[in-house]
Chains A and B, each alone.
Chain A
């Protein structure tokens, strides 16, 4: 029976695996099944509440929020066994994010009633979902890292460690329940609050009124504003103690289906907390940083906003986000910062004489930045028709790029030591010149040309006419196709960095110097993996620049990648997370972040995992050598 498939599947999926057989059978029996082709939107941000919890049976979805007209903030990628739609389901509120199928996706649907029953009877179930909708789905290895981290002992999680009193709105504004609806709403709008506590004659809270009540019970019903507020206030006052943890508050909201709780401290009303406050405590905070950047009219304001990135990483690490999600969110934030700097500069200089595209490359191009990284950027502009246009362009873009460079510097992005920046006239060129650069490197793969290719070929547009970047990408793909010699040179370069692991699976560390007993995770671990994947991507004309997306794209198109795709993704995620944690701890203790890891300080599980990862990278390098054997020397 099809239900048996469902049962079998649920038995391996958290938190269903913790339920007893009879309950599981009951759940499985009420499930329906939906299919969403790649690209279709399953939930719409601000759309109607989800009526089901959807568990992904097969496929992948991305969860993202749109904050402006073209702005997407990536929240999470979810895959088989993950679920979505939980929060809007239990709150009955509009959906908070867009969920789009990024592959053909099959979901199991569980109805609201069944979920509410489970929440009520199984505390484990409730806790799991409260954790998981915060993007805290982490596998054992990740957990281990988080647990071990110096800063966050014992699986620290915000929802479970922050007392609700800390984030409640303090200094509650109250009004008498005898006032009219009009008076009450005036108090609310004057004080810019979304809820108002109403008291009886002796000052004891008697009810609460929220924006939602005004909308649902007054405006849409055409009610008379001179009616007493007590006629529409909600008298189910649900209280929480200030010392309760946030997740307990959230549970109460879910259980009583309310959006506000009164926070009581020592028997006295201390504040009000809304589900929105709890939301801000969690995953949506990247948005507030993004909004803050968006609203700055000048560079000075951006400096302040950009400092919050470190805080944001702190939050994401605490929430147990995957490395790829952290780096993507950082990329999004840094992209916005860069766009804003350019926008402000353009405003100062007036409109450009020609269309152009601001591109970034290196780790920025791959969306794999961790903390503030060197500026790696360039400008491609449209071919100027005549000499005068060419002169205008040179003058304008040289002024623009210098100002942008300095603006980014102020925001904490150091200049590139190799001067791979748009402010270097060599890297601020019309598209024809860029094509010439690329074809020269490919035709004459000198060591220097290959090194440049490794950096520049990861380019990605950030601002301006993305069509120029796309044109250049097309050109590159065409120019590189079948150029075995160039690819051979590239292969030859990238196999020089080998994972620091010896014949007996021991770690190879620096013997002397500043980094004695350590190895360079970036050069010896990340670079070889990124380089090998780039090589395969260039062989197959894959347009994506991020390593994980390249792997996904290559899975179907490259025999070497096919067998290892999943392992490669895990290895990459793990190494990146190790790196982010390492750098974060350095930053917090006031050091400049580096990439040197001392293996003896890793836990056994981490050691084993990283050895496996290095072993895999060696294997991939072996395949590269095999493939380009005649050209390897």
Chain B
């Protein structure tokens, strides 16, 4: 626990200007996804979490982080239907505290990337603050915000614009990324990583050069806070 706290203090350094100069295709990213018991910040909690590292556009399949955790709140019947993780599966799994400290170690100082990532971060930081007194300091990028930015600067019919959910699967399908195994934290993180991988050359082509630019475009506050519930987030 002490080690984790030290780690978290270390991370407070965050977003140094040097990193902002890094070109998109050289920066280090960690693509994350969590599965939750529900979306109510007060009542619900994390069921599983996954993280995949990227260096520039290369997705590293060697060290994939994945944990099914013992949730603080009980699994609701609806969420079981969504992720297919039943209460018996989470029994005997590591506690959220252990999972989170390993997660923080895995993420190092790198840029976090997620689809509608503010939701994931809300839950992660809530649990981290509760357990360790502070949340993650990493800069974060929301692929839904990046997508909205690209769509806005493209001809009207170039990209699909209205989706029933967060749009992750629709965007993935549009780019020819297979979406099998969806709604599992690892597969969703993997799909998100591939979507982000497709974005990189498009962004470079449109003059987005470095991490600083990227952080302005993809800031989670510009993305879909409620993206998982409604399709109204692409500014249309």
- Using a CB–CB cutoff of 8 Å, the interface residues on chain A facing chain B are 1-3, 5-6, 28-37, 40, 58, 104, 109
B197 CB contacts on chain A under 8 angstroms: 33-35
B187 CB contacts on chain A under 8 angstroms: 1-2
B61 near A31: Cβ-Cβ < 8 Å:
yes
A2 near B57: Cβ-Cβ < 8 Å:
no
Give the distance in Å from the alpha carbon of A58 to the alpha carbon of B175 in the complex.
12
A-B contact list, 22 entries, CB within 8 Å:
A1-B66, A2-B61, A2-B186, A2-B187, A30-B62, A31-B62, A32-B60, A32-B61, A32-B62, A33-B61, A33-B197, A34-B57, A35-B57, A35-B197, A35-B200, A35-B201, A36-B201, A37-B198, A37-B201, A37-B202, A104-B176, A109-B58
Q: Is B59 an interface residue (CB 8 A)?
A: yes
A31 nearest in chain B by CB position: B61
A35 near B198: Cβ-Cβ < 8 Å:
yes
Interface 1/0 per residue, B45-71 and A, CB below 8 Å: 000000010010111111010100000
Give the distance in Å from the alpha carbon of A346 to the alpha carbon of B11 in the complex.
71
Most chain B CB within 10 A, of A1, A3, A29, A30, is at A1
Q: Is B190 an interface residue (CB 8 A)?
A: yes
Q: Number of contacting residues on B, CB 8 A? A: 22
A35 nearest in chain B by CB position: B197
Give the distance in Å from the alpha carbon of A2 to the alpha carbon of B194 in the complex.
11
In the complex, besides A29-B61, A32-B59, A104-B176, 11 extra interface pairs with C-beta distance below 8 angstroms are A1-B187, A30-B61, A32-B60, A34-B57, A34-B197, A35-B200, A37-B198, A37-B201, A40-B201, A104-B175, A109-B58
Of the candidates A2, A29, A30, A34, the one whose C-beta lies within 8 Å of that of B58 is A34
A52 nearest in chain B by CB position: B58
Give the distance in Å from the alpha carbon of A372 to the alpha carbon of B202 in the complex.
45
A1 near B186: Cβ-Cβ < 8 Å:
yes
Most chain B CB within 10 A, of A28, A30, A35, is at A35
Give the shortest distance, in Å, between A223 (CB) and chain B (any CB). 35
| 3 closest residue pairs by CB, A with B | A33-B59, A35-B197, A2-B190
A109 CB contacts on chain B under 8 angstroms: 58
Chain B contacts with A in 179-215, Cβ cutoff 8 A: 186-187, 190, 194, 197-198, 200-202
A33 near B64: Cβ-Cβ < 8 Å:
no
Give the shortest distance, in Å, between A37 (CB) and chain B (any CB). 5
Most chain B CB within 10 A, of A3, A33, A104, is at A33
Give the distance in Å from the alpha carbon of A3 to the alpha carbon of B186 in the complex.
11
Chain B contacts with A in 62-105, Cβ cutoff 8 A: 62, 64, 66
Give the distance in Å from the alpha carbon of A109 to the alpha carbon of B190 in the complex.
16
Interface 1/0 per residue, B152-186 and A, CB below 8 Å: 00000000000000000000000110100000001
Give the distance in Å from the alpha carbon of A5 to the alpha carbon of B187 in the complex.
11
B57 CB contacts on chain A under 8 angstroms: 34-35
Give the distance in Å from the alpha carbon of A126 to the alpha carbon of B107 in the complex.
38
B66 CB contacts on chain A under 8 angstroms: 1
B61 CB contacts on chain A under 8 angstroms: 2-3, 6, 28-33
Give the distance in Å from the alpha carbon of A28 to the alpha carbon of B198 in the complex.
22
A35 near B194: Cβ-Cβ < 8 Å:
yes
Give the distance in Å from the alpha carbon of A35 to the alpha carbon of B175 in the complex.
11
A103 nearest in chain B by CB position: B176
Give the distance in Å from the alpha carbon of A35 to the alpha carbon of B176 in the complex.
12
A58 nearest in chain B by CB position: B176
B60 CB contacts on chain A under 8 angstroms: 32
Give the shortest distance, in Å, between B184 (CB) and chain A (any CB). 9
A28 CB contacts on chain B under 8 angstroms: 61
A40 CB contacts on chain B under 8 angstroms: 201
A40 nearest in chain B by CB position: B201
Known: A35-B198, A40-B201, A58-B176. A2 touches B62 (CB 8 A): no
B55 CB contacts on chain A under 8 angstroms: 32
B56 nearest in chain A by CB position: A34
Most chain A CB within 10 A, of B61, B194, B200, is at B61
A35 CB contacts on chain B under 8 angstroms: 57, 194, 197-198, 200-201
Known: A34-B57, A35-B194, A37-B201. A29 touches B62 (CB 8 A): yes
Give the shortest distance, in Å, between A499 (CB) and chain B (any CB). 35
B64 CB contacts on chain A under 8 angstroms: 1-3
B196 nearest in chain A by CB position: A35
Give the shortest distance, in Å, between A4 (CB) and chain B (any CB). 9
Give the distance in Å from the alpha carbon of A40 to the alpha carbon of B201 in the complex.
9
B186 CB contacts on chain A under 8 angstroms: 1-2
A107 nearest in chain B by CB position: B58
A58 CB contacts on chain B under 8 angstroms: 176
A33 near B176: Cβ-Cβ < 8 Å:
no
B205 nearest in chain A by CB position: A37
Give the distance in Å from the alpha carbon of A2 to the alpha carbon of B64 in the complex.
9
A2 nearest in chain B by CB position: B190
Give the distance in Å from the alpha carbon of A34 to the alpha carbon of B201 in the complex.
11
Known: A2-B64, A37-B201. A32 touches B58 (CB 8 A): yes
Give the shortest distance, in Å, between A134 (CB) and chain B (any CB). 28
A1 CB contacts on chain B under 8 angstroms: 64, 66, 186-187
A34 CB contacts on chain B under 8 angstroms: 57-59, 197
Give the distance in Å from the alpha carbon of A28 to the alpha carbon of B62 in the complex.
8
Give the distance in Å from the alpha carbon of A3 to the alpha carbon of B59 in the complex.
12
Give the shortest distance, in Å, between A68 (CB) and chain B (any CB). 29
Give the shortest distance, in Å, between B147 (CB) and chain A (any CB). 16
Give the shortest distance, in Å, between A556 (CB) and chain B (any CB). 13
B178 CB contacts on chain A under 8 angstroms: 5
Give the shortest distance, in Å, between A442 (CB) and chain B (any CB). 32
Known: A1-B186, A2-B190, A104-B176. A33 touches B58 (CB 8 A): yes
A2 CB contacts on chain B under 8 angstroms: 52, 61, 64, 186-187, 190
Give the shortest distance, in Å, between B135 (CB) and chain A (any CB). 28
Give the shortest distance, in Å, between A89 (CB) and chain B (any CB). 16
Give the distance in Å from the alpha carbon of A31 to the alpha carbon of B190 in the complex.
14
Give the distance in Å from the alpha carbon of A29 to the alpha carbon of B62 in the complex.
5
A3 CB contacts on chain B under 8 angstroms: 61, 64
Give the distance in Å from the alpha carbon of A1 to the alpha carbon of B61 in the complex.
9
Give the distance in Å from the alpha carbon of A35 to the alpha carbon of B190 in the complex.
13
B52 CB contacts on chain A under 8 angstroms: 2
Give the shortest distance, in Å, between A542 (CB) and chain B (any CB). 22
Give the shortest distance, in Å, between B173 (CB) and chain A (any CB). 14
Give the shortest distance, in Å, between B103 (CB) and chain A (any CB). 17
Give the distance in Å from the alpha carbon of A31 to the alpha carbon of B197 in the complex.
16
A34 nearest in chain B by CB position: B58
Give the shortest distance, in Å, between B106 (CB) and chain A (any CB). 16
Give the shortest distance, in Å, between B149 (CB) and chain A (any CB). 18
A4 nearest in chain B by CB position: B181
A32 CB contacts on chain B under 8 angstroms: 55, 58-62
Give the distance in Å from the alpha carbon of A31 to the alpha carbon of B59 in the complex.
9
Give the shortest distance, in Å, between B193 (CB) and chain A (any CB). 8
Give the distance in Å from the alpha carbon of A104 to the alpha carbon of B197 in the complex.
12
A33 nearest in chain B by CB position: B59
A29 CB contacts on chain B under 8 angstroms: 61-62
Give the shortest distance, in Å, between A334 (CB) and chain B (any CB). 36
B59 CB contacts on chain A under 8 angstroms: 32-34
A37 CB contacts on chain B under 8 angstroms: 198, 201-202
Give the distance in Å from the alpha carbon of A35 to the alpha carbon of B58 in the complex.
7
Give the distance in Å from the alpha carbon of A40 to the alpha carbon of B194 in the complex.
17
Give the distance in Å from the alpha carbon of A28 to the alpha carbon of B59 in the complex.
13
Give the distance in Å from the alpha carbon of A37 to the alpha carbon of B175 in the complex.
11
Give the distance in Å from the alpha carbon of A104 to the alpha carbon of B66 in the complex.
29
Give the distance in Å from the alpha carbon of A31 to the alpha carbon of B64 in the complex.
11
Give the distance in Å from the alpha carbon of A6 to the alpha carbon of B59 in the complex.
13
Give the shortest distance, in Å, between B123 (CB) and chain A (any CB). 23
B53 nearest in chain A by CB position: A32
Give the distance in Å from the alpha carbon of A104 to the alpha carbon of B52 in the complex.
22
B201 CB contacts on chain A under 8 angstroms: 35-37, 40
Give the distance in Å from the alpha carbon of A28 to the alpha carbon of B176 in the complex.
22
Give the distance in Å from the alpha carbon of A32 to the alpha carbon of B55 in the complex.
10
